[in-house]
C-alpha cells in the first residue's frame, strides 16, 4: 500500500474534498497524510487521518484580513501575493518534512510548494481542480470576480476571450516570482507559470465536479479525469442536525435555506437580516445558517429559524430552494439536492460558479452590492413560480447523485501510483 500526501490550502470548501479522498484512500489500506494549515488538525484526526501542519497558518479570527481576502477586486492578490508567496519557502520546508517516505503527492491549486517538491524529490504527482475556473480556457471562459462584465465577451469565441486571458496572465506573471526563485535555488528550471499552467500535473489532473457543471474543453491539460463532485457528508466538526432545526423542518412546508458557507459567513454584514425580511415578504419559511451570528439575530418570526450551521446533505433536500454565495462545496450540495438556487457571489470562483448554474437553468444570481430585501424576495417568488427551473434542478440532482466523485478520483490516484 502507498503513502499519499494530500496538500491543500483555504477554507473548509477547499479542505473537505481532500478529507473525503483521504477517508476513501485510508479505507483501501493506504497511509494518508493531510498537509494543511494547523487549524485543520482536528478535522483530519476526527476522521482517522494523519495531519501535517504546513504554513501559512490561518487565523480564522482575523476578520479584517478575511474581508480583504474576500474582496472581489483584490481578494486573489491578497491570498496569493500577501499570504502564500511570502511564505513559499516555509511551505516547502513543512511539506518536505510531511512527505518523507511518501509515494505520491496530490495538490490543491494554491499548494504552490507541492509541484516544486514533487519535481525535486521525484515524487509521483497528481493535481486537483476543484472548480473549472482554474483551467482558464478561452473555449469556456470563466467569469472573473474582478471584472465580471467580461462575461459579455463569451459569445465572441476563443480568439477574443483568449486575448483577454493572455492579458490577465501577463498582468499576474510576477506573482509567481517567489516560486521561480525557490526553483532556481533548488537547481530546477523555471518551469511553467505556477499560477496558471504550472499548477496542473502532466501525470494527471482530477477534475472534482460533474460534467453537467463543466464539459471538457480542447485546451484543458492532456490528462484530465472528470470525477464528479466529492462529498464529505458531515457538518463542520461532525456536528449532527440541530434538534431545533429538525423540529422546524418537520413542522411545515419546505423552507428556504440561506447560507454563506464556511468563509463568507464571517463577513456576512446584513445578509441574514435581509434574508429574513425577504422570506417574510415572500411569505416563505426560512432557515438561516448564520454561523456565530445566529444568536445576534435576536427574536425571529416563528416561520424563520437561525442556527450556526447544519449538515447540507441532510438539510438541502428538505428545502424548497437554497440561497448561498456560490462556493463550490455549497454549489455541489445544492445541485445534488435537486433544488433551485439563488446565488449572491462574494469573490473568487463564486462569480463563475453562479454563471454556470445560471447556464444550467437551475439558479438566479442576485448582485451582492444591490442586495435588498424586496429584490431578494422577488427572486424567491420567481423561483417559486418557475416550474421549468424546478424540473431542471431535479433532473440535475438525480444525475449528480448517480455519480461517485470520491470513488472515481481514488481509482485514478491508485492507477497513477
CB contact set of 104 (below 8 Å; sequence gap of 6+):
2, 3, 4, 5, 123, 124, 125, 126, 413, 416, 417
Contact 71, 78 (CB under 8 A): yes
Same domain, 22 and 166: yes
Cβ neighbours, 10 Å, residue 2: 17
Q: Rounded to an integer, what distance in angstroms lies between the CA atom of residue 253 and that of residue 250?
A: 8
CB 109 within 8 A of CB 199: yes
Number of independent structural domains in the chain: 2
| DSSP state, residue 205 | E
CA trace torsion 154, 160, 166, 172 (10° rounding): -50
pLDDT at res. 58: 86
Residue 178: domain span: 3-233+404-416
> Are the C-beta atoms of residues 203 and 125 closer than 8 Å to each other?
yes
For the chain, how far is it from start to end, CA to CA, in angstroms? 10
- Res 239: pLDDT: 78
Q: Both 73 and 140 in a single domain? A: yes
- Residue pair 412/225 in contact (Cβ under 8 Å)? The answer is yes
| In a shared domain, residues 199 and 299 | no
Same domain? 227 vs 240: no
Q: What is the DSSP pairing of strand 50-53 with strand 104-107?
A: unpaired
Task: Report the CATH number at residue 311.
Answer: 3.40.50.2000
What pLDDT, on a 0 to 100 scale, did the predictor assign at position 237?
65
The residue whose grid cell reads 457571489 is: 345
Rounded Cα gap, residues 166 and 205, in angstroms: 22
> Do 83 and 189 fall into the same domain?
yes
Q: Are residues 203 and 118 part of one domain?
A: yes
Which residues are within 8 A (CB) of 193 and not within 5 positions of it... i.e. 6 or more apart?
169, 173, 176
Kindly provide the residue ranges of all beta strands, DSSP E only, lying in 95-245, ordered along the sequence: 104-107, 124-129, 205-207, 224-226
Which residues are within 8 A (CB) of 175 and not within 5 positions of it... i.e. 6 or more apart?
77, 80, 81, 85, 195
What is Dmax (Cα atoms) for the chain?
65
- Looking at the structure, do residues 280 and 295 belong to the same domain, yes or no? yes
Q: Which of 406, 349, 384 is nearest to 132 (CA)?
A: 349
Note the residue count of the chain. 417
Q: What is the pLDDT of residue 61?
A: 82
| One domain, residues 87 and 214 | yes
Cα(37)–Cα(111) distance, rounded to whole angstroms? Answer: 11
Residue tagged 490561518 (cell numbers): 58
Based on the domain organization, do 150 and 274 belong to the same domain? no
19 and 84 in a common domain: yes
In this structure, the answer to whether residues 31 and 171 fall within a common structural domain is yes
- Examine the domain organization and report whether 409 and 320 are in the same domain: no
Return d(Cα 254, Cα 318) in angstroms, integer: 6
List the pLDDT tens digit at each of the 417 positions of the chain: 999 999 999 999 999 999 999 999 999 999 999 999 999 999 999 999 999 999 999 887 889 999 999 999 999 999 999 999 999 999 999 999 999 999 999 999 999 999 999 999 999 999 999 999 999 999 999 999 999 999 999 999 999 999 999 999 999 999 999 999 999 999 999 999 999 999 999 999 999 999 999 999 999 999 999 999 999 987 666 678 999 999 999 999 999 999 999 889 999 999 999 999 999 999 999 999 999 888 889 889 999 999 999 999 999 999 999 999 999 999 999 999 999 999 999 999 999 999 999 999 999 999 988 789 999 999 999 998 999 999 999 999 999 999 999 999 999 999 999
Amino acid at each position: 500500500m502507498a503513502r499519499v500526501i494530500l496538500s491543500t490550502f483555504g477554507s473548509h470548501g477547499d479542505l473537505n474534498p481532500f478529507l473525503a479522498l483521504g477517508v476513501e484512500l485510508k479505507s483501501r489500506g493506504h497511509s494518508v497524510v493531510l498537509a494543511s494549515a494547523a487549524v485543520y488538525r482536528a478535522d483530519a484526526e476526527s476522521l482517522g487521518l494523519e495531519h501535517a501542519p504546513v504554513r501559512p497558518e490561518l487565523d480564522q479570527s482575523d476578520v479584517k484580513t478575511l474581508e480583504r481576502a474576500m474582496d472581489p477586486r483584490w481578494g486573489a492578490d491578497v491570498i496569493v501575493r500577501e499570504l502564500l508567496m511570502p511564505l513559499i519557502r516555509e511551505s516547502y520546508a513543512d511539506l518536505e518534512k510531511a512527505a518523507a517516505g511518501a509515494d505520491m503527492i496530490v495538490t490543491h491549486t494554491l499548494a504552490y510548494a507541492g509541484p516544486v517538491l514533487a519535481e525535486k524529490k521525484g515524487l509521483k504527482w497528481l493535481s486537483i481542480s476543484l472548480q473549472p475556473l482554474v483551467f482558464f480556457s478561452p473555449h469556456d471562459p470563466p467569469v472573473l470576480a474582478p471584472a465580471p462584465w467580461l462575461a459579455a465577451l463569451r459569445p465572441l469565441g476563443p480568439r477574443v476571450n483568449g486575448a483577454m486571458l493572455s492579458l490577465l496572465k501577463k498582468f499576474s506573471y510576477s506573482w509567481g516570482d517567489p516560486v521561480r526563485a525557490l526553483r532556481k535555488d533548488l537547481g530546477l528550471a523555471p518551469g511553467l507559470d505556477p499560477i496558471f499552467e504550472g499548477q496542473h500535473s502532466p501525470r494527471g489532473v482530477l477534475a472534482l465536479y460533474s460534467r453537467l457543471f463543466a464539459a471538457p474543453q480542447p485546451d484543458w491539460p492532456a490528462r484530465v479525469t472528470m470525477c464528479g463532485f466529492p462529498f464529505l457528508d458531515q457538518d463542520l466538526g461532525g456536528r449532527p442536525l440541530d434538534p431545533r432545526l429538525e423540529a422546524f423542518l418537520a413542522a411545515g412546508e419546505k423552507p428556504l435555506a440561506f447560507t454563506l458557507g464556511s468563509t463568507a459567513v464571517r463577513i456576512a454584514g446584513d445578509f441574514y437580516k435581509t434574508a429574513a425580511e425577504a422570506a417574510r415578504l415572500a411569505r416563505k419559511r426560512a432557515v438561516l445558517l448564520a454561523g456565530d451570528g445566529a444568536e445576534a439575530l435576536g427574536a425571529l418570526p416563528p416561520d424563520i429559524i437561525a442556527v450556526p450551521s447544519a449538515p447540507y446533505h441532510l438539510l438541502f433536500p428538505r428545502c424548497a430552494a437554497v440561497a448561498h454565495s456560490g462556493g463550490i462545496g455549497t454549489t455541489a450540495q445544492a445541485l445534488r439536492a435537486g433544488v433551485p438556487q439563488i446565488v449572491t457571489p462574494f469573490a473568487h470562483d463564486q462569480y463563475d460558479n453562479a454563471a454556470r448554474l445560471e447556464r444550467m437553468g437551475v439558479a438566479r444570481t442576485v448582485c451582492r452590492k444591490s442586495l435588498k430585501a424586496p429584490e431578494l424576495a422577488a427572486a424567491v417568488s420567481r423561483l417559486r413560480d418557475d416550474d421549468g427551473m424546478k424540473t431542471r434542478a431535479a433532473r440535475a440532482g438525480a444525475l449528480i447523485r448517480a455519480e461517485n466523485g470520491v470513488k472515481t478520483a481514488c481509482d485514478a490516484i491508485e492507477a497513477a501510483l
